[in-house]
Amino acid sequence: MSSTSPTDPRARAIWRWGGAIAALLVVQSIILAGLFWLLAAHSHEREAEHGFARDCETFAALASPLRPATLRAMLTRDIHRDRFLAIFAADGSPIEGNVARLPHPATTGTKSFVAPIRATELPGKTHDVARLALCTLPDGEKLLTGVDLDDSEEALRVVRQSLLFALGPGILIALAFGLFAGRRAARQVDAIRRLTARIMSGSLEDRLPVSDRPDSFEQLCAHINAMLDRLQALVLDMRAVGDDIAHQLRTPLTRLRARLERSLRDTHDRAGFETAAIDALGEIDKLLGVVAAMLRIRELEDHARRSRFAPVDLAKIAADACELHRPIAEDRGIDLVCTIAPLPPFDGDDSLLIEALSNLIDNAMKFGPANGRVAVDLRRDGHHAVLSVTDDGAGVPVSDRLLVTQRFYRGSHEVDGVGLGLSLVKAIAELHGCTLAFASDRSCVSLVFASDRDNDKRPRH
């Protein structure tokens, strides 16, 4: 274990955390000791007052001639000689008991008070201090009842000594535990500080240690590690996007530059320059389309558009997409068949959903056989809504199904495109909590929407 000097920030943190925890434990110990002392001090008083109330009720219910004999019998049973009982006439003269005269000052009622008394039946003592209560009986006589304070004072003295004896070790234990807990907390915070310093320096692979049975702090560390995993994935994804854009744009830009150089070298009239400019603009539009598609996929993966979700009609979206592609299908000799079942509203973005469906229909018409058939089917399958696009082609091979949703992957270079269509469809599907599924026995791609219950539970951003 490495030593730390008092000026070291880690040492200051240990003393700060440890001092705060130790002070809290010390204050808690003192408060608990004080409460225990108050409870012990007042318990004898409450018990005595309950006994005084019983004595007053007992003698108030007796006739005056019976009171002296009853009082004497009670004193006879008091073998420890710690009770004081006396009956006085209305003028204060004693009638019976072991107290010679009324104490001064004395308050009438069951509320007790402490006062010196003149005892008549204590061996070797004529004066004592007792807790007393003075109550007036129905015929005007007064009953003085009380208990000796010697036993209670001895018990309180033992309690006081016990508390003082226990407080010393308790405070030492609190200080030791405070320093231990402070050192542990400072070490945990220092681990996070070192990790954040390494991350800021560019090391995204480091993680906080988490045991098999994590405590509260290690559960926090697990959440931090999960956050760092997501952060690292996003950073790597952004790097991959940059690499993809650079790789995919390099060839078209090189081709564009070569074409412009050739046009400048070989063209000598206005018409030739106009043709070269038109070709260059076409290439530039394709490049801008690639960049726009990449930025759109990035926006969808960050869920930036989820705040604009609203109830949408999937049947209307499917019908609009079919109407949009029907003229293109007729020009290509493709039979576009749409089977649309009415479904409950779905929470989503209608413009994104129609874009995803349009990409699927466009892919089906591109990769399907000439003069073939493309079917768009919207139906309910159990608790899910399924939107499928089927063509007469061979479909996507099982080995390529993970690849076709990656950016810039093109299953066939004979068909014009940049390989971003299914990547965009996948991003839109994930944004809506849908599943992009490929059929195993035919050329069919489906969007499987979450059930109504899952749709209600999907988090909003």
Q: What pLDDT score does 5 carry?
A: 46
Distance CA 221, CA 121 (A): 76
Per the model's pLDDT, the better-predicted residue between 349 and 15 turns out to be 349
CA distance between the termini of the chain: 47
How many residues would you count in the chain? 461
Q: What pLDDT score does 59 carry?
A: 92
Per the model's pLDDT, the better-predicted residue between 297 and 203 turns out to be 203
Most confident of 112-116, 304-308, 312-316: 312-316
- Strands (DSSP E) contained in 53-100 are 83-88, 94-97
Whether the per-residue pLDDT at 309 is higher than 50: the answer is yes
- Asked if 436 and 429 count as a contact pair (C-beta separation under 8 A), the reply is yes
Q: What pLDDT score does 196 carry?
A: 81
Q: What pLDDT score does 461 carry?
A: 42
Distance CA 156, CA 168 (A): 19
Q: SS3 for 3?
A: coil
Whether the per-residue pLDDT at 339 is higher than 70: the answer is yes
Q: What is the pTM of this model?
A: 0.44
Q: What pLDDT score does 382 carry?
A: 78
Q: What pLDDT score does 58 carry?
A: 92
Distance CA 263, CA 177 (A): 83
DSSP structural state of residue 335 = E
Q: How confident is the model at residue 15 (pLDDT cuts 50, 70, 90)?
A: low
For residue range 208-222, list pLDDT tens digits in order. 778 888 777 788 888
Q: What pLDDT score does 87 carry?
A: 92
Per the listing, tokens 């993966």 go with 301
Distance CA 209, CA 219 (A): 10
Cα of 341 vs its chain's centroid, Å = 42
Which value, to the nearest 10 degrees, does the dihedral of the CA atoms of residues 8, 13, 15, 17 take?
A: -170
Q: What pLDDT score does 3 carry?
A: 46
Distance CA 370, CA 392 (A): 9
* Mean pLDDT for all residues in the chain: 78
**Cβ atoms < 10 Å from Cβ of 255:** 11
Among the listed ranges 19-28, 376-385, 431-440, which one has the minimum average pLDDT value?
19-28
Q: What pLDDT score does 4 carry?
A: 47
Domain range 1-206, its CATH number among 3.30.70, 3.40.50, 3.30.160, 3.30.450: 3.30.450
Which residues touch 319 (CB under 8 Å, ≥6 apart)?
Answer: 338, 340
Domain range 309-457, its CATH number among 3.30.565.10, 3.40.50.2300, 3.40.50.150, 3.40.30.10: 3.30.565.10
| Domain boundary assignment for the chain | 1-206, 216-301, 309-457
